[in-house]
Amino acid sequence: MLNKLKIEESQVPGLCLDLYKEHGTTMAGLGYDFDCDDFHARVHGTLPYEKLKPDPVLRQLLLSLPQRKIIFTTSDKAHAAIVLKKLGIENCFDGVICFETLNPSTEQTVKDWKVQMPLVPTVQSLLAGEPSVIESAKLDPKRTVFFDDSARNIAAGKADGFHTVVVGSSALVPGANVALDSIHNIKEALPELWVEDGGEHAKAVLRPAAVETTVLA
């Protein structure tokens, strides 16, 4: 923003935050065509990744969870890979849907996820695109739990029929079925996710929206 758009340095932090809140990503809010690789390299290149530490508790929870686990992110794959590795959970997921997934650099269709989306996707567009990621990833929202720390994203997930869990909050936000003060409390809040038979016990996780839960660390 400083080098390419010549925006005053003092205005950048506030503008980034406002655009993120209003549009879901800073890139989407700016409304310009970018060299996306350059944009991501500049933005993520300044992040303090060294502050991220391995999370063995989360790793064990994820590895013990028998359900299919997919990451949705509007960031690029390099950023996602760094974060997952720093946390020590890079091999805990069955798939990652990221910026490149939705914007293949060649005309060849992405092998695993056949999705075409706007160049600056938000979580809303990830879920509601045509064809939608829900359809392409073979997800049944009624049997899928959507975790996020953003109230905006939780509302988008609920609108598409997901069972929603807001993380990092001691209070429910609009559209959330469950609030987790810490992701480490997932098994306390949703023990049904560890049921492998796919029968009536597993269906218990899909509680009606009226049944709302808050779990504190």
User: What tens-digit pLDDT sequence spans the chain (217 residues)?
Assistant: 556 565 676 776 676 677 666 665 666 656 556 665 666 566 655 678 899 999 999 999 999 999 999 998 878 888 899 999 999 999 999 988 887 776 665 444 444 443 333 444 455 655 655 446 777 678 888 999 999 998 988 998 999 899 999 999 989 999 999 999 999 999 999 999 998 755 454 454 554 443 455 555 4
User: What's the farthest any 2 CA atoms get from each other in the chain?
Assistant: 58
Q: Which two tokens stand for residue 128?
A: 């509601």
Q: Residues in the chain, how many?
A: 217
Domain ranges of the chain: 9-47, 48-138, 140-217
* Helical spans, DSSP H, in 123-199: 123-128, 133-136, 151-159, 186-189
Which of the 8 DSSP states describes residue 109? P
For 201, the token pair is: 């016990």
Structure tokens belonging to residue 123: 């979580």
* Alpha-carbon span 1 to 29, nearest angstrom: 12
Instruction: Report helix, strand or coil for 147.
Output: strand
Q: Please give the structure tokens belonging to residue 216.
A: 């504190």
Residues 49-71 pLDDT 10s: 899 999 999 999 999 999 999 99
Residue 17 token pair = 């935050």
